[in-house]
Structure 1
Amino acid sequence: MVTSERQERSIALPTRLGWRMGYLLASFGIYMVDQSTKAWAVRALRFGEDRSIVRGFLDLIYMENRGIAFGQLQEGGAFGRWFFVVLASAAAVAVFYYFVRTPRNDDRVLGACALLLAGILGNLTDRARLGHVIDFIVFHVGSYHWPTFNVADASITIGALLLAYDLVFGSRRKTVVSEQLTTDH
């Protein structure tokens, strides 16, 4: 019996690692898309070459964001830059730890963590390398303009929404399943 448990563990470990590697590979892909689109924005948009993609709805405009989400806390200077680098590094470590501790079959949370990691690391790379984050996507309807953002910001937002959804509805679902299992026996 001890041998079969060891065999199951030795088989389960590569499976768990392989499953997580798929999510990490997807996260790396999103990170690369983020960095590539930012490099394109620097080349194509940096010197006032704004582009309207969908007139009255979607524009591409180069911006350098020295603050945090939606341009808040812009006046931090060198201290702010490195404070945000340390903060983002801690967030990446926390998300990775949560990712590793998440059950293999919890796809929503694993996907959310992968999105969060890609976004956090994408913006962290900019901040550490350049001292600011490159934003270039602007949605607007009429006179309302959504704050300028990038692929990393979108990844963070979607990942955070998935985690919030799981916190609100995931525990409820797990409770219902648990109650069904209890009443079935």
Structure 2
Amino acid sequence: MLKSGLLRWLLLALVVIVADQVSKQMVLSALTFHQVVPVFPGFNIVLTYNEGAAFSFLAAAGGWQRHFFTLLALAVSAAIVWTLRKHHAERRLAFALSLILGGAIGNVIDRISYGHVVDFLDVYWNTAHWPAFNVADSAICVGAVLMVLDGLLKPKTADQPG
């Protein structure tokens, strides 16, 4: 049986997964590939696909990367669940891990379903565009920043240096 503290964090990860998948389905049903919908200066909605990892890393690697990144994300997800079991009472850390877990699983669903990740958030300045991303990517990034902050804000114990 799941501990109630762990269940809360797994439910948060599920919320991220659902938000990610619902937003992707909305974009997939409303736009054609590479169609751009201006929202306001500096931000568009655009349907694009990423066969690689962050910033399209290894996107043109020939297909093996789909399986590699899927397995990597599943391994990381398992490690996150194990860590959440041990540290579910540490709210900042558990919140961060839940966001990362939800984002990782959201993108795994895409890789398994489509062979690529659906991206649609396009941030730009003048003619310079940040690589398109999605809700899952956003959750992973926010979770990573929160993990760093958690590490910086944790009180030092007697056995830790400096």
Query: Structure 1 residue 70 and structure 2 residue 55: aligned?
Result: yes
TM-score of the aligned structures, taking structure 2 as reference length: 0.90
Contact 1:45 1:60 in 2 (8 A): no
Higher helix share: 1
Once the two structures are superposed, residues 90-113 of structure 1 have per-residue CA deviations (whole angstroms, 9 ceiling, x without a partner) of 111111111111151x11001011
> Unaligned regions of 5+ residues in structure 2, if any?
none
Identity fraction in percent = 32
- Runs (4+) of structure 1 exceeding 3 A deviation are none
RMSD: 1.9
Cα distance in 1 for residues equivalent to 2:29 and 2:153? 43
> Unaligned regions of 5+ residues in structure 1, if any?
1-12, 179-185
Secondary structure of 2:62's match?
helix
Instruction: Summarize the Cα distance change of 1:28–1:149 in structure 2 as closer, same or farther, 3 Å threshold.
Output: same
Query: Hey, what does 1:92 align to over in structure 2?
Result: 77
Cα distance in 2 for residues equivalent to 1:166 and 1:118? 19
User: Equivalences for 1:118-137 in 2 at 5 Å?
Assistant: 118-137=102-121
The total of aligned residue pairs comes to: 159
Which structure has the larger Rg?
Answer: 1
Query: Hey, what does 1:82 align to over in structure 2?
Result: 67
Query: Hey, what does 2:39 align to over in structure 1?
Result: 53
Q: How far has the Cα of 1:47 moved from its partner?
A: 4.2
Say which of 34, 48, 55 aligns to 2:20.
34
